[in-house]
Amino acid sequence: MDAKTNYYELSRAKEFQKIIDDLLPVVRSGNSIPVQNLSYLLDALNKTKQYDEAIVLGKQHFAGVKTNKYALNNLCFAVYMSKLLPYQNEKQIPSEIAKTAGWIVDHFPKDPKNFIWINSVFICVRFHLAHDDHGKAAALLSLMKRDELSNEVKKANMNGKEVTVKSDREKFVKLSMETAMAAGKWDLALQLCEELLKINPGDIWYLRDKAIALKNLGRNDDAMALYREILKKKSDWFMWHEAAKLALKMGNREDAKTFFSRGFGAAVGQSSFFSWHLFVDMADFLKESGDEDIALKQLHFVYLTAVNDDGNRPQEMLKYFYDWKISVPEGLNVQALKRELMDFHSANEFSGERLTGVISRMNEGGKSGFIASGDKKYFFATRNFRGKNPKEGTNVTFYIEKHTNPKTGNEEDQAVGISYER
């Protein structure tokens, strides 16, 4: 290191490798350098994506780093890029990652235009919401103001596919809405849902959040109308489950029966480990309706199929079986149970005639296709196929429902409840 070297000028000239070659050996040897030069070294390591090296040096010399805002900002940048960036869009935030994000929030200057600070706050908020601490989540969000945040929607490449990334303002409103829900502030949650739907009209998940808020405000008719709209576009088992519980709350058992059976059809091809609540609630409903035999078979089926990869069953489900003294006979044939339950629920799921046809075409990507029946062809979404890997030429049975075509916005006949022809 030459005391006369101007590292500011080297940095301006983007001679980052020269800065590293000059200063890094000195620091590694244990000698001290002016904190301004340490800041240029940390910046050079960041510019060459040597984030872990920057973190090691920053921690070793933190007493000096914290006295220089540029050095501290460079250390925060390295920590974010190395430790937090992979979790920017993850649903599950480990406690160590949340702790690191909290450190950045405490040390990086508040800046609603800087992604380091903004995303670190968002990561902390998501962690606290996941751990039912809406107070801490709200306190962190109070550090921001909605109108200070950018409303720019960006594009990003994820696994070779271009995706749309929500603006910082939309992320803020979404987290504020989730925090209001966690705190049971349903009027505020509804207001924020409306704001989100102005930003992103027709978003299924915002519509669902709005339905949940309406239900908790006692506006059941409005909530049910929204669920009916949602279920024309997305028919996951948990959507049918929520609609069924709402129908029961409204005293409409016929709708509940249909919704439960549709939920069974959507869930039966997946592991029951995550959907066991649906099967148990359905069994309770069937028992109350006088179908005690099929209710018991429903419970036997979910007990046998709600098993994860480690061979474990959900503890809460096991407690349900224990509390109600429900035992499962040995030697039951799971596939035979499944067929019997499918036959029972298929009679409740759909109105109209059950048609036959053949899969005439699978679209690219395998998420949709067409079924030929008579002189007509019907579009279908693969999620409505009861089985695995639908293939062209397969004979099937199905029903017809009106669904919105996302490309045209028009309602049209589409195939649902599709099964292999027996």
Q: Tell me, what's the pLDDT at 3?
A: 63
Residues 123-146 have a mean pLDDT of 96
pLDDT in tens, 43-74: 999 999 999 999 999 999 999 999 999 999 99
Residues 198-223 have a mean pLDDT of 96
> Is the pTM above the cut of 0.95?
no
The segment(s) of the chain belonging to CATH 2.40.50.140 are: 350-420
What is the band of 158 on the pLDDT scale with cuts at 50, 70, 90?
low
Residues 148-157 have a mean pLDDT of 85
Residue 67: Cβ-neighbour burial (10 angstroms; 0-12, 13-18, 19+) = exposed
Q: Does position 190 have pLDDT exceeding 80, yes or no? A: yes
pLDDT in tens, 317-361: 999 999 999 999 999 999 999 999 998 998 888 888 889 999 999
What is the band of 234 on the pLDDT scale with cuts at 50, 70, 90?
confident
- CA distances from residue 93 to 76, 87, 131, 139, 182 in whole angstroms, order as listed: 19, 7, 10, 18, 18
What is the band of 165 on the pLDDT scale with cuts at 50, 70, 90?
confident
CA-to-CA distance for 144 and 191, rounded, in angstroms?
A: 18
What is the band of 89 on the pLDDT scale with cuts at 50, 70, 90?
confident
What is the band of 157 on the pLDDT scale with cuts at 50, 70, 90?
low
Domain 350-420 sits in CATH at 2.40.50.140
Q: Does position 4 have pLDDT exceeding 80, yes or no? A: no
144, two tokens: 């921001």
- The answer to whether the beta carbons of residues 181 and 198 sit under 8 Å apart is no
* pLDDT, averaged across the chain: 93
